[in-house]
Structure 1
């Protein structure tokens, strides 16, 4: 037996009362339609088992809270399943055992190393530049350069390649933030999770944060993965 305070039991009691009322109403309606008590019981057990089998724990791992919450809510709205945001460095991987881990390709390798456990699938999603970011970059003359300054060179190269694929040819990765590095640079793209970098550059060059949106193909791919995981989990539970 575990004794808990009234603060913890009250929400459960309220939820239990509401669930009981819903079930009582459903049972009364079912029996009014002519179903026997045994049939109602069998249906209730079957529906409960199916609902339990379909429950998946999904997390979205990102480098800061705002981005994690934003991407998690976007995926949640699309797949109809709760997605819990997690921030790199702010949780203990050993305490997590989700069915599906989502992250961006920027952090895929790092997250895969953290989540090394059976039956945990880690999927990297493609993110693209927000239209506002593209508009500001398009205003830079072709004779001037747009610099990419990120926390790692790998991420900066990935951003550069993404913008190049969008049709921009005057994109370069900055090796530093000195006056020499900024020569010929009209605009610097920085990550939103590094406000100190923006402050360091402001007043010396125009700065824009790299706003991200999830790639539609990636979102649809996640929906397919969630569907497959639900079927697999349902099969395991039935077995």
Structure 2
């Protein structure tokens, strides 16, 4: 991304300059679909701008559908959707063939409606988490990998976003709560859980620290902080502590672990503290299991 540059004296906001340049490169072929963009921190350092500026630029590009997040692959240029071909000639030929084959206009109409209903009744799915950023990130990744629209939802929003849902996906940490919700409302909604695993690279970084070192974990929710602390504690001989978002970052930390979806939680770390962005990956076997459930739901609808 050495071709990017910003002009601090311009009347155009810096984040808009970044958006405009990446958009031009994507649309002109300078950046190809699937090509990886630099992490927020790296691009901010390269351009000499605040990380929040790059976060805002990337968020705008996601809204425009120009970039997407693909788990461990990071942020990449999105593949443009195919341009649908005009269905008119094919539809006309099919209708005429049906009529010439002896079907009445009413039978053609009923058959076309049944086929259209079956083809467009896509499975409606929701991914449920306790953290908004994780819910959005994982729902987007599942949508891309499963080729179905998976909407994000918080645990507290289940009753407001699941009225028309066929499948609720969550992690094993929240499966019991989601199933209690489904039973309480006597809902027939299917529920499945996926495995979310920590990035091995982060575990190795912490594991290599001496026993005298201290590692801080700072997440937006207490549940996530405890979860990540327990993961790291199993891999580290160093002391792993939770750093609440309401408290200053201790100066004696060797490493401060923050979520990749909210890197600003690392602000305030001492110069000698390494801030590590810790992400999670979806277990491949779990994703395939969800794909199988989706196929089963589709098969039941086609009967």
Per the normalisation by structure 1, the TM-score is: 0.64
Classify 1:148/1:110 alpha carbon distance in 2 versus 1 (closer, same or farther; 3 Å): farther
Classify 1:188/1:107 alpha carbon distance in 2 versus 1 (closer, same or farther; 3 Å): farther
Classify 1:197/1:73 alpha carbon distance in 2 versus 1 (closer, same or farther; 3 Å): closer
1:128 aligns with one of 191, 197, 203: 197
2:145 aligns with one of 78, 81, 89: 78
SS at match of 2:202: helix
Q: Structure 2 matches for 1:37-76, cutoff 5 A?
A: 37-38=103-104, 41=108, 44-51=112-119, 55-62=122-129, 63-65=131-133, 67-76=134-143
Indicate conservation of the 8 Å contact 1:146/1:171, yes or no: yes
1:218 deviation in Å? 1.6
1:112 deviation in Å? 5.5
1:155 aligns with 2:224: yes
1:57 deviation in Å? 0.8
| Structure 1 counterpart of 2:281 | 213
Whole-Å separation in 2 of the counterparts to 1:104 and 1:178: 31
Indicate conservation of the 8 Å contact 1:73/1:83, yes or no: yes
Whole-Å separation in 1 of the counterparts to 2:103 and 2:270: 72
Question: What is the root-mean-square deviation in Å for CA atoms of aligned residues?
Answer: 4.0
Higher RCO, Cα 8 Å, sep 6+: 1
Classify 1:150/1:95 alpha carbon distance in 2 versus 1 (closer, same or farther; 3 Å): closer
Indicate conservation of the 8 Å contact 1:64/1:193, yes or no: no
Q: Unpaired runs of 5+ in structure 2?
A: 1-85
Classify 1:22/1:87 alpha carbon distance in 2 versus 1 (closer, same or farther; 3 Å): farther
Whole-Å separation in 2 of the counterparts to 1:133 and 1:156: 15
Indicate conservation of the 8 Å contact 1:150/1:190, yes or no: yes
Count of matched residue pairs: 211
Per the normalisation by structure 2, the TM-score is: 0.53
1:228 deviation in Å? 2.8
| Structure 2 counterpart of 1:187 | 255
Indicate conservation of the 8 Å contact 1:60/1:84, yes or no: yes
SS at match of 1:201: coil
Whole-Å separation in 2 of the counterparts to 1:158 and 1:109: 16
